[in-house]
Structure formats: structure tokens, C-alpha cells
Amino acid sequence: PRDLRELAQRHGIKIGSAVDVAALRAEADYRKVLNREFNHVTAENAMKWESVEPQRGVYTWADADAVVENARRNRQQVRGHTLLWHNQLPAWLTSGVADGSIGAAELRSILRDHITTQVGRYKGKIRAWDVVNEVVEEDGTLRQSIWLTHLGPGYIADAFRWAHRADPRAKLFINDYNLEWNQPKIETTLSIVKDLQAEGVPIHGVGFQGHLGIQYDYPGDWANVMRRFADLGLEIAITELDVRMVLPVTPEKLATQADYYRRALTDCVSVRACEEMTLWGYTDRHSWVPGWFEGEGSACVMDENLAPKPAYHALLAVPRQR
């Protein structure tokens, strides 16, 4: 294959990237490479609640629309990210809950309206939604959030039901990080899925974010974890893959990073149900990593100048398995 689009075709999967809307608008080279390389995209921030409803009842869809419209023009499918999270909530919502002016019943109807409105707006244009994001803590308990505190654990089933009603054809996912290896998280997420299925709640997939770092061991059991979810009938996606490193960059570190990317794709294509691998940004020019992990970076498959790194070539070389 000459590029990631051809690679995706060879493996019969979707290969995606998170999209930085500011770069999409302002940088022709960023746009060109994005549209050449990827057949799937996720808005990195533009579909989050604080982005789409910064003031109560005031919707700002321009950025999210731009991602969807660019995708349509370039034959890219779209993952919607994300309907329910504990981060990047609008200030009016978190402060209203904190000062008691928004009570539980109202919070529930606000959530229902949010999901109904956003999923409805993009009905037929989003292949898969991250309905709930990061709802399990590292120790396997349900995440402490305004949702759990005020609505109780039933909010998860509600969110899936509301999303399904608004777009019955969209695939609905539960998405999380460290789910590649964290045993308590894995077991709890499996049991959430089983409980939802037992109640007839529409859930179709599980997303493994895949935020890796070469200073940690590669999650060697990942394919087996994927299979456990696949055995429940779920589609599998790697939704936010990146592989960071402690700076400075060296040829050895880039080689290790390339191996991690290679293994992630190899794991995905070794599991029939794994249908999508999305990179959390494709270029080091726009990556969340340096802003979040001091002294770390270089997490993407292309450098700041959009030149392919060893990881890019390692992906292209992964042999067909299905």
C-alpha cells in the first residue's frame, strides 16, 4: 500500500484520525494529508458538549459541521465523540449542578435533550457514536461524576436508549482508556455491557482509546481483551491511538514507537470484530500530548512537517491477516 487509505482497504478496516478543526480550516497541507490518508475521522474537540452548547440553549455547530462536511466531501466515515463525559462539560451545566439550581430531574432531561439534539442533527452522517466516555475508574468502580451522583448508574442505559431513538442506524459505543490492560476496568466494562444487553439496551461496540507510551510495556494481552468483548457480539474499535515518548526523540525511541503502532494494528486485524483503528491526531504539529505530559511528545506517525516517521512505515508493512 502507498498510504493509510490503501492499507485500510487491504485489511478491510477503517483507519481514522482525530481532526483539529482550527488546522482543518487554516492549514492546506494538514487538510490535504488528512483527506488523502484517512477514510474515517473523529472530531478531537468539536463535538464535545462545551463546544456545541457553550451557553444554555445556544448551540454552536459550525466546527462540528465543518468536520462532518469535510468528511462527506472526502468519503470519510465519522465517529461522533462524545455524548456523555465528565470532562469538557459546559460551565453553565457544571455550575448549575454545583449550586443546586439544576436538580436531578432537570439534569436528566438536560442530558436527554442534549443526546437527542446532537444525535438527531447528524442522523445518517455518523457511523458510530461514543455514547459514554470513561465511565469506569481505574479500580473498577463506576466513575464519580455528576451523572452517577445525581442520576445513579441507570444513566448509562438511558444514554444508549436516547441515542438509539435519535439515530437507529448509528453504532453505539462505550469508550475508555487503559481498557487495553487494566483488569478491574476490563471486568467492570464487560459486566456493564452484559447488564445492558440483558436489559435489551442497544449497545453495539467498545472503543479502546489506546493512549500508549513507550516507557510502559506494550499491552501484550490486548488482542485477548478485544476477543472477550467480541464474544459478547460487540464491534471493536481502537478509537484514539497514539504512542508518546519521553523527549528527546532518538532513533531507538522512534523504532520502539513504530513497533507499538505495528502491534496495535496487528492486534486489531487479528480480531475479526475489530473494524476501525483511529489515530488521536496524525501529526506531531497538533497533538494533545506535549500539553498534558511534561517532557513528553512525538506521539504521532508524522512529524511537525507532516513527514512520515518510522511508525508510519511500520503500519504500511503490517501483513494482511483476514
Task: Check binding of 9 to ligand G3I (CB under 6 A).
Answer: no
Residue 316 host element (H or E): helix 310-316
In the complex, the smallest distance separating the C-beta of residue 63 from ligand G3I, rounded to whole angstroms, is 10
> Strand pairing of 235-246 and 211-213?
parallel
Residue showing cell 497541507: 29
Cell of 87: 470532562
d(CA 230, CA 240): 19
Q: Which is nearer to ligand G3I, 55 or 87 (CB)?
A: 87
In the complex, the smallest distance separating the C-beta of residue 106 from ligand G3I, rounded to whole angstroms, is 25
In the complex, the smallest distance separating the C-beta of residue 104 from ligand G3I, rounded to whole angstroms, is 25
* Residue among 37, 180, 235, 240 flagged as catalytic: 240
Give the up-direction half-sphere exposure of residue 5: CA atoms within 13 A in the CB hemisphere: 13
d(CA 128, CA 321): 24
Window 129 to 168, contacts with ligand G3I (CB under 6 A): 133
Q: Which is nearer to ligand G3I, 93 or 269 (CB)?
A: 93
DSSP-derived 3-state class of residue 202: coil
Q: Which is nearer to ligand G3I, 44 or 235 (CB)?
A: 44
d(CA 98, CA 235): 37
β-strand partners of 80: 129
The total number of residues written for the chain in this structure: 322
DSSP-derived 3-state class of residue 137: coil
Among 53, 158, 235, 240, binds ligand G3I (CB under 6 A): 240
Cell of 250: 532518538
In the complex, the smallest distance separating the C-beta of residue 242 from ligand G3I, rounded to whole angstroms, is 9
Q: Which is nearer to ligand G3I, 240 or 276 (CB)?
A: 240
In the complex, the smallest distance separating the C-beta of residue 44 from ligand G3I, rounded to whole angstroms, is 5
- Using an 8 Å Cβ cutoff, are 244 and 214 in contact? yes
The count of chain residues that interact with ligand G3I, using the rule CB under 6 A, is 9
DSSP-derived 3-state class of residue 280: coil
Task: Check binding of 30 to ligand G3I (CB under 6 A).
Answer: no
d(CA 266, CA 51): 35
| CA 177, 53, 27, 79 torsion-angle sign | positive
Among 35, 209, 257, 278, binds ligand G3I (CB under 6 A): 209
Task: Check binding of 44 to ligand G3I (CB under 6 A).
Answer: yes
Task: Check binding of 17 to ligand G3I (CB under 6 A).
Answer: no
Q: Look up residue 307 and give its DSSP letter.
A: P
Q: Look up residue 16 and give its DSSP letter.
A: E
In the complex, the smallest distance separating the C-beta of residue 77 from ligand G3I, rounded to whole angstroms, is 19
Window 243 to 302, contacts with ligand G3I (CB under 6 A): 288
Q: Which is nearer to ligand G3I, 19 or 271 (CB)?
A: 19
Nearest to 21 by CA among 60, 56, 71, 64: 64
Which residue minimizes CB distance to ligand G3I? 288
Among 25, 26, 69, 87, binds ligand G3I (CB under 6 A): 87
Q: Which is nearer to ligand G3I, 13 or 47 (CB)?
A: 47
In the complex, the smallest distance separating the C-beta of residue 65 from ligand G3I, rounded to whole angstroms, is 17
Which residue type sits at 53? E
Task: Check binding of 183 to ligand G3I (CB under 6 A).
Answer: no
> Is there a catalytic annotation at residue 134?
no
Residues within the interface to ligand G3I (CB under 6 A): 44-45, 87-88, 133, 177, 209, 240, 288
Q: Which residues are catalytic?
A: 240
